[in-house]
C-alpha cells in the first residue's frame, strides 16, 4: 500500500485527474455515474500515475446546471449516492496513494438552497442580506448593466421582495453577498466540513466571481479589438463588457486568505478557476502569490479556441513571467466546460502525444480531464439530446458543453462503452468505442500508455515537477526551454508540426533522458534533428 505523504507542498507539480461524476461510471444502472462507480474505477486512475483526483460537484442539487447549483453544501445528492459512499471514495483513494480534491461552488447557490428561500421571503429575515439584492432604477429596469455569462441580464426580478437579485450564471443560481461576514463564515464552515471528512483540497469554481462592487457601478464597454472567446463563446454579448465591477474585486484577496488559514492545518491545497478574458493570468498571479492565498489557479490561455503553436506558448509564458512569476499555474488543455482539445486543435494521435509530453514538461501543476488520455474527440450531440442549458440557449452557433461530457468509455464491445447497463444520460458516440480503455490497454504504442509514460517521466525528474523554467523560446514550430532543479538540468524541445525541424543545442554534454517516449539526441554536428511531432528531452551531465 502506498502511504500518502503529509508534505504541505504535495500539490506543487502534481498531476490532478478530473472526474465528472455523471459520466465516469454508473454503478446502479440508472444511466448516471455515481460515487460507487468512482470507487470502482479508482485503481485505473492510480495506474495512470496521477497524484490526485478532482471530483466535480456531487452535492445535493436540482441539477439545473448539473451540480454547480448547490442546494445543500454538506450532503450528497441521491443521484450520486450517500455520504457513506463519499467516505468510501476518500478511503479507497488514500489507500491507492491518491489525494482527493472536490469542487466547491462558493460564489452562488441554487435558488432551492434553504439560505435563498429564507433570503427571498422578505427584507427583514436573518438571511435577507445573504445574497446580492438591489432596488430597481426609477423606471423599473435592473440596477445596472451587468450581464449573465449564460446570456441576458445578470439581474432577475423577485416579486416577493420587489427587488432584483444578481445571478452571474443561470437565473436559478443567485449570487451570495460576500460583503456579509456571516456569509463568509458559513462558507468557511462548509470547507471545514469536508476537510474534517478527509478531503485533501478543493477546486474553487469561478474564484474571481466571489465579490461584486458594493456600489453596483456599471461595467464599461470593451472595445471590439479587445474581445475574445476565452471566457464566453463569441456569440455571447458578455464579451462586450470590461468586467471591472461584477467580478475581480480586490476584496477577494482577504477572503482567500481566510480560506487558506482554514485549510492550513490539514495541509490541504486549492486550485482556483480564473474566468477572465482580459486579466486572467494577472489575476492568477494575484491570487496565488505568497504563502497566504491559494496555492494554484488555472486560467483559460490553453483552454480557449486559439491553436497552441510554439510562438503562442512562448508568449503565454512570457506573460506568466511578467504578471505571475511569484504565483503557481495549473495547466490544462481540456475540462468539462470546453471542447475537447483533440477536436479544438484538430490533433492527430502523434500530435496528441506531443502535446501530452509538453504538458508534463511545463512548470506548474497539471489537470487532466477524464478521457483525455484516450484521445476522445468532442462528441456531436443532436439538439434533441442536449442537456446543457448553455448550449440550448446559444444553439447552433455554440453547442454547449455536452460534447465534452459524454460518458467515459471503458469497453469496446457494448454500446454504452461499459459505462452503464442502461441508456446513459448523454449518448456514447460510436466513434469513442474504438478508443476505450480496454482496447488501448492492449496497444503499447497507444495514447493511453503514452500518458502513463510521460506522467512517469514527470515524477522521475524533480526538474520537471518542481524546478525552474528558463530560456523558453519558439524557433518556428519548435518550442524549446530548460528545466532546472538543485541537481538536474534538462533541455526540452518539441516539434509541434508535421514537418521535420533542426535547431541548435545549448552548450553542454547532453544525453537522452526520455528514450521511452521517442526522444532523440543531438547529431554528430551537435544540432538537434526533430521529426514531425518529435520530442527531445535531454540531461546535461555534470550539472
**Is 166 a domain residue?**
no
Q: What is the DSSP letter of 195?
A: H
User: What pLDDT score does 2 carry?
Assistant: 39
Residue 514's domain is classified under what CATH number? Answer: 2.60.40.1180
In this structure, are 355 and 482 located in the same domain? no
Within 8 A by CB and 6+ apart from 434, the residues are 412
In this structure, are 382 and 451 located in the same domain? yes
**Is 128 a domain residue?**
no
User: What pLDDT score does 332 carry?
Assistant: 97
Active site residue 273: yes
Give the helix, strand, coil percentages of the chain, each rounded to 5: 30, 20, 50
In this structure, are 404 and 339 located in the same domain? yes
In this structure, are 512 and 401 located in the same domain? no
Of 428, 457, 486, which residue sits at a domain end?
457
Considering the candidates 205, 286, 388, 482, report the single residue annotated as catalytic: 205
Residue 439's domain is classified under what CATH number? Answer: 3.20.20.80
User: What pLDDT score does 141 carry?
Assistant: 98
User: What pLDDT score does 543 carry?
Assistant: 57
User: What pLDDT score does 542 carry?
Assistant: 62
In this structure, are 453 and 502 located in the same domain? no
The continuous run of DSSP H or E covering 394 comes out as: helix 389-394
Q: Which ranges of 362-436 does DSSP label H, i.e. alpha helix?
A: 389-394, 430-433
In this structure, are 436 and 497 located in the same domain? no
What is the domain extent for residue 368? Answer: 15-107+178-211+225-457
In this structure, are 452 and 491 located in the same domain? no
Instruction: Give the β-pairing of 15-19 and 52-55.
Output: parallel
DSSP lists the bridge partners of residue 185 as none
Whole-angstrom distance, CA of residue 95 vs CA of residue 200:
14
Contact status, residue 232 vs residue 281, Cβ threshold 8 Å: no
**Is 169 a domain residue?**
no
Helices 35-48, 447-460: inter-axial angle, 10-degree rounding: 70
Considering the candidates 26, 77, 200, 273, report the single residue annotated as catalytic: 273
Whole-angstrom distance, CA of residue 365 vs CA of residue 375:
21
CB atoms within 10 A of CB 230: 19
Instruction: Output phi, psi for 157, to 5 deg.
Output: -70, 135
Contact status, residue 197 vs residue 265, Cβ threshold 8 Å: no
**Is 65 a domain residue?**
yes
Instruction: Give SS3 for 328.
Output: coil
The domain total for the chain is: 2
Of 457, 488, 513, which residue sits at a domain end?
457
- Considering the entire predicted model, what is its pTM? 0.96
In this structure, are 433 and 473 located in the same domain? no
In this structure, are 249 and 298 located in the same domain? yes
**Is 492 a domain residue?**
yes
In this structure, are 46 and 187 located in the same domain? yes
**Cα–Cα distances in Å, from 238 out to 102, 150, 156, 366, 452?**
28, 8, 16, 29, 39
Nearest to 306 by CA among 385, 194, 230: 230
**Is 356 a domain residue?**
yes
In the predicted model, residues of the chain with pLDDT beneath 50 are 1-4
Residue 330: CA count within 13 A, CB half-sphere: 29
In this structure, are 306 and 258 located in the same domain? yes
Contact status, residue 132 vs residue 212, Cβ threshold 8 Å: yes
Amino acid at each position: 500500500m502506498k502511504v500518502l505523504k503529509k508534505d504541505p507542498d504535495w500539490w506543487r507539480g502534481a498531476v490532478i485527474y478530473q472526474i465528472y461524476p455523471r459520466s465516469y461510471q454508473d454503478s446502479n444502472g440508472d444511466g448516471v455515474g455515481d460515487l460507487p462507480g468512482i470507487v470502482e474505477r479508482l485503481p485505473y486512475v492510480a495506474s495512470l500515475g496521477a497524484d490526485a483526483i478532482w471530483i466535480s460537484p456531487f452535492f445535493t442539487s436540482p441539477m439545473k446546471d448539473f451540480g454547480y447549483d448547490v442546494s445543500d453544501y454538506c450532503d450528497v445528492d441521491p443521484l450520486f449516492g450517500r455520504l457513506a459512499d463519499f467516505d468510501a471514495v476518500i478511503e479507497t483513494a488514500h489507500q491507492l496513494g491518491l489525494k482527493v480534491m472536490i469542487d466547491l461552488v462558493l460564489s452562488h447557490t441554487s435558488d432551492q438552497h434553504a439560505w435563498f428561500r429564507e433570503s427571498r421571503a422578505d427584507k427583514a429575515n436573518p438571511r435577507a442580506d445573504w445574497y446580492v439584492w438591489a432596488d430597481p432604477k426609477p423606471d423599473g429596469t435592473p440596477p445596472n448593466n451587468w450581464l449573465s455569462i449564460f446570456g441576458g441580464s445578470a439581474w432577475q426580478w423577485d416579486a416577493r421582495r420587489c427587488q432584483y437579485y444578481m445571478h452571474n450564471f443561470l437565473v436559478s443560481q443567485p449570487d451570495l453577498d460576500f460583503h456579509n461576514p456571516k456569509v463568509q463564515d458559513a462558507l468557511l464552515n462548509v470547507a471545514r466540513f469536508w476537510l474534517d471528512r478527509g478531503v485533501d483540497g478543493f477546486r474553487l469554481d469561478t474564484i474571481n466571481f466571489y465579490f461584486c462592487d458594493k456600489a453596483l457601478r456599471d461595467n464599461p464597454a470593451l472595445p471590439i479589438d479587445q474581445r475574445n472567446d476565452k471566457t464566453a463563446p463569441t456569440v455571447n454579448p458578455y464579451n462586450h463588457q470590461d468586467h471591472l465591477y461584477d467580478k475581480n474585486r480586490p476584496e477577494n484577496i482577504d477572503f482567500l486568505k481566510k480560506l487558506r488559514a482554514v485549510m492550513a492545518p490539514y495541509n490541504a491545497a486549492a486550485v482556483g478557476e480564473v474566468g477572465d478574458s482580459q486579466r486572467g493570468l494577472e489575476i492568477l498571479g494575484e491570487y496565488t502569490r505568497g504563502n497566504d492565498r491559494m496555492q494554484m489557479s488555472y486560467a483559460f490561455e490553453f483552454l480557449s479556441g486559439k491553436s497552441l503553436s510554439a510562438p503562442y506558448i512562448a508568449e503565454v509564458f512570457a506573460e506568466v513571467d511578467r504578471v505571475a512569476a511569484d504565483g503557481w499555474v495549473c495547466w490544462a488543455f481540456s475540462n468539462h466546460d470546453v471542447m475537447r482539445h483533440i477536436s479544438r486543435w484538430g490533433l492527430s494521435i502523434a500530435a496528441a502525444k506531443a502535446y501530452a509530453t509538453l504538458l508534463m514538461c511545463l512548470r506548474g501543476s497539471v489537470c487532466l480531464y477524464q478521457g483525455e488520455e484516450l484521445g476522445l474527440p468532442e462528441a456531436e450531440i443532436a439538439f434533441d439530446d442536449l442537456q446543457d442549458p448553455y448550449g440550448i440557449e446559444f444553439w447552433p452557433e455554440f453547442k454547449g458543453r455536452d460534447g465534452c461530457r459524454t460518458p467515459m468509455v471503458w469497453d469496446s464491445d457494448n454500446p454504452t462503452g461499459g459505462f452503464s447497463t442502461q441508456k446513459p444520460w448523454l449518448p456514447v458516440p460510436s466513434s469513442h468505442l474504438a478508443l476505450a480503455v480496454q482496447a488501448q490497454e492492449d496497444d503499447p504504442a497507444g495514447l493511453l500508455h503514452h500518458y502513463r509514460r510521460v506522467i512517469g517521466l514527470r515524477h522521475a525528474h524533480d526538474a520537471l515537477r518542481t524546478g525552474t523554467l528558463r530560456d523558453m523560446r519558439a524557433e518556428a514550430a519548435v518550442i524549446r526551454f530548460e528545466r532546472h532543479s538543485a541537481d538536474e538540468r534538462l533541455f526540452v524541445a518539441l516539434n509541434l508540426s508535421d514537418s521535420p525541424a533542426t535547431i541548435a543545442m545549448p552548450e553542454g554534454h547532453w544525453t537522452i533522458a526520455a528514450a521511452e517516449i521517442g526522444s532523440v539526441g543531438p547529431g554528430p554536428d551537435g544540432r538537434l534533428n526533430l521529426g514531425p511531432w518529435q520530442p527531445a528531452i535531454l540531461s546535461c551531465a555534470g550539472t
